Amino acid sequence: MDLVPAPMSEPLPVLLVDDDTALCESLSQLLKMDSLAVTAAHDGESGVREALSEAFEIVILDVMRPVLDGRKVLRRIRLHSQIPAIMLTARGDDADRIAGLEAGADDYLPKPFNPRELVARIRAVLRRRATNPPSEILSIGDLEIQLRRRRVLQNGEELPLTGAEFEILFLLVRSAGKILTRDEIAESALGRAVGRLDRSIDNHISNLRKKLGPEVNGIERIRNIRGTGYCYTGETA
């Protein structure tokens, strides 16, 4: 009786966002030997677009990118997707690592690195995600933010938010207790920079405050940190 060979497993689709084309090409070849199919995006905008296409199992992001750095790219991705992410950087200091993890990274690898270690970290992140899938619901106080359905409930009642308001609120709540500058909010939530006289972020925050109202104890939910930016009070559940 002839033996039928077992079918080859499909290569794991990986998105690499890095402007270093030589690195992308060499990594693509090396990771291919470990059944990883790498697609490269060389700028932040296309990286966000590709990551949200649902065509990849994991995204690898270079932190030190020009114009739109890896942390900003990841914050924008996290507004819509919980795709696993590993950040690469030429700097290995604690502050840089913590900033990447706070942006929503699952792991962090300083350059230069051994491609075998990257493969091992990719497999480890995917195993962790399979065991502990991320929640699609974020709760804080009387609010429930449903990421996949892009809805916000307050005491069970849906709030009528615009797309920009939803993204700004989600970004602030994900970073509850941390001050975000207007530029960080605009670049991460709206995908663009704001000029010195541009009050669009302040207007969106003002509308959010009106729709949300204060906390039960009268405390303002979104604090204005004069000369710096905004901070959402409280802690996520």
Query: Which CATH number covers residue 156?
Result: 1.10.10.10
Q: Is the pTM of this model over 0.75?
A: no
Q: Is the preceding peptide bond at 112 cis, omega within 30 degrees of 0?
A: yes
Question: Among 28-42, 101-115, 156-170, whose mean pLDDT is lowest?
Answer: 101-115
Q: Is residue 1 part of a domain?
A: no
Helix (H, G, I), strand (E, B) or coil at 228: coil
State the CATH number of the domain containing residue 22: 3.40.50.2300
Q: What are 137-152's pLDDT values in tens digits?
A: 889 988 999 887 889 9
Tokens of 129: 């995600």
**What pLDDT score was predicted for residue 66?**
60
Q: Is residue 29 part of a domain?
A: yes
Residue 88 near residue 60, CB atoms below 8 Å: yes
Reply yes or no on whether the pLDDT at 215 is more than 60: yes
Rounded Cα gap, residues 56 and 53, in angstroms:
8
Q: Are residues 84 and 143 in the same domain?
A: no
Question: Among 94-98, 117-121, 196-200, 221-225, whose mean pLDDT is lowest?
Answer: 94-98
**Sorting pLDDT into bands at 50, 70 and 90, what band is 67?**
low
Average pLDDT of the chain is: 84
Give the phi and the psi of residue 202 in degrees, each rounded to 5.
-60, -40
Domain hosting residue 68, numbered range: 12-131
Residue 180 near residue 71, CB atoms below 8 Å: no
CA nearest to 125, candidates 95, 83, 78: 83
**What pLDDT score was predicted for residue 84?**
94
Q: Is residue 43 part of a domain?
A: yes
Per-residue pLDDT averaged across 197-216, rounded? 87
Q: Is residue 123 part of a domain?
A: yes
Rounded Cα gap, residues 169 and 200, in angstroms:
14
Q: Are residues 125 and 175 in the same domain?
A: no
Residue type, 214: P
**What pLDDT score was predicted for residue 65?**
63
Q: Are residues 45 and 127 in the same domain?
A: yes
Tell me the pairing of strands 137-140 and 143-146: antiparallel
